[in-house]
Amino acid sequence: MQRRAIMVDVDGVLIAHPHLKGWSVNLEIDLGISPAALHERFFRREWDDVVHGRAALRDRLAPALAEIAPAALPDDLIAYWFSNDAHVDHRLLAELQHLRREGLELHLATVQEHERAKYIWDNLGLRETFDSIHYSAALGYSKPDHAFYGAVESASRLSPDAIFFIDDKIENVAAAKECGWTAALWTGHETVRDLMRSFEWKGN
């Protein structure tokens, strides 16, 4: 029997912050760090290297904080960030667990750096539900680069026609389709089973 798998995006799908501004909405109040300054100094300048595994998170975050918020500690910001960006959609998780019991594999396909990927996998307990996590810092590529999807196929040893992928970004869905995956845009208004049915996907 051929293996079949559902590939699930993390941010915006399995984890979704209730506030539009996300985890940093109260960052300045709580830690005295300006979200705008953090975005400009760290995420805009350093994040590409970090999220693709070319640099360690703390190695790039520490000097950035030294410039924009000298009193702030990297450990404190990382703990705050990860714990405030951990709103798991338990309804979706329950549905995925049910589908796994029916014989489908579950994999995470996500753009993450190493530390948050480990936090998601271990601290949030997703290793109990999912068969594997495939993420950009480990693969060296991120969505929607076609190389990301190819690397996921190689790591999972799954063929494109055996994969059903859900993501909240249309460009990632489009790229997955170009790579031969069956892919659906996730809005949270439909169940995974409904989406599978609408695509008539059975993972032949």
Residue extents of the structural domains in the chain:
5-16+87-198, 22-84
Residues forming a β-bridge with 8: 108, 166
What's the average model confidence in pLDDT over 102-115?
A: 98
The Cβ of residue 169 has, within 10 Å, a number of other Cβ atoms equal to 17
Least confident of 17-21, 73-77, 133-137, 174-178: 17-21
Percent of the chain with pLDDT strictly greater than 70: 99
Say if residue 19's pLDDT is above 90: no
- Find out whether 2 and 162 touch, Cβ atoms under 8 Å: yes
Instruction: Report the pLDDT averaged over residues 30-45.
Output: 98
Q: How confident is the model at residue 131 (pLDDT cuts 50, 70, 90)?
A: very high
CATH classification of 5-16+87-198 is 3.40.710.10, yes or no?
no
88: alpha, beta or left? (left if phi > 0; alpha if psi -120 to 50):
beta
**pLDDT surpassing 60 at residue 204:** no
Confidence of residue 147 (pLDDT cuts 50, 70, 90): very high
Binned at pLDDT 50, 70 and 90, residue 25 comes out as very high
% of the chain surpassing 90 pLDDT = 95
Residue 22 DSSP SS3:
helix
Give the pLDDT confidence score for residue 20 in this predicted structure: 82
Residue 105 belongs to what H/E stretch?
A: strand 105-110
Q: Which of 115, 121, 138 is nearest to 53 (CA)?
A: 138
pLDDT at 158: 97
Question: Closest Cα partner for 5 from 162, 189, 127?
Answer: 162
Mean residue pLDDT of the chain comes to: 97
pLDDT digits (tens, 9 = 90+) for 80-98: 999 999 999 999 999 999 9
pLDDT value for 45:
98
Mean per-residue pLDDT, 25-39? 97
pLDDT at 92: 98
Summarize the confidence of residues 12-29 as an average pLDDT: 93
At 21 the pLDDT is: 84
Q: Are 166 and 13 in contact (CB under 8 A)?
A: yes
**Per-residue pLDDT tens for 175-198?**
999 999 999 999 999 999 999 999
- For residue 159, pLDDT beyond 90: yes
Tokens of 161: 């026609």
User: So what's the pLDDT on residue 203?
Assistant: 59
Q: Enumerate residues 6+ apart whose C-beta is below 8 A from 145.
A: 175
* pLDDT at res. 125: 97
